[in-house]
Amino acid sequence: MILALLSFATSYFTPAIYFYVLYATIAQIDLTNQYIQYIARVVALIYVIVYLIAIAGGLSGSVWTKYAENISRVFALMTFALLGLVTYNLFVVYLNLSGSGIDFTSFTQMSILAMIAVNLVGFFALIFLHFCTHPDLVCKLFADTISYWYYQGAYAQTMVAHAFCNVDDVSWGTKGSTGAHGGKDY
């Protein structure tokens, strides 16, 4: 129940978070460089346009689902870009590893370090906890990480947009999906 609530809450404002993190992580690369500021705006705008296309497709019904993978591919590219940008921002902008290094009196840097520790240590602790009982599955999990990231575009964005657009459709799946969505009674 808690997990379902967390997932629902997050899926509700995923677009705003994606938009802002894309914009801010590019803008922060160099706040004084005008070109980087323009690129940040253009990329954020492209994200909004792609998301609006996903919404329009989701509302248009089953015909769209044939082409939804193209939007998912664009979202997947953005996910990889976001991973790279966040990693770059963490090490170069926040922890300043390319400059003066870590300042142990800085609250921001220490909170970033604590969050990295909680996420990485917790994630690997959970995985290796399963290693003694499910060694094969743990190896598969590591092997599938890249494809998991790739499919995040579909799972976290296209499918969520499609699901939100079709909450009135309570059928179990393929039944009736070959026809035009809606209007079948007329």
Partner 1 sequence: MGYQGIHWCPWWKRLLNLEGLLRLRMVLYYLFRCFWNAILAYLFIYIDIVVSQPEAGVANGVNTGARIILVVIAIYGTAQMFIKLVLAMIHHIAWMTCNCCRGTMEEVRKSKVKNLWNELNN
Catalog residues that contact partner 1 under the rule CB under 8 A: 2-3, 6, 10, 12-13, 15-17, 19-21, 23-25, 27-28, 31, 55, 58-59, 89, 93-94, 96, 99-100, 103, 106-109, 111-112, 115, 118-119, 122-123, 125-126, 129-130, 133-134, 136-137, 164-168, 182-186
Residue closer to partner 1 by CB (options 67, 124) is 124
Query: What residue type is 162 in one-letter code?
Result: H
Residue closer to partner 1 by CB (options 151, 166) is 166
89-92: Cβ within 8 A, 24+ apart: 89/25, 89/28, 89/29, 90/116
Distance CA 141, CA 151 (A): 14
In whole angstroms, how close is the CB of 181 to partner 1 at the nearest point?
Answer: 8
In whole angstroms, how close is the CB of 141 to partner 1 at the nearest point?
Answer: 13
In whole angstroms, how close is the CB of 169 to partner 1 at the nearest point?
Answer: 9
Distance CA 55, CA 164 (A): 9
- Nearest 5°: the CA angle 159, 83, 51 is 35
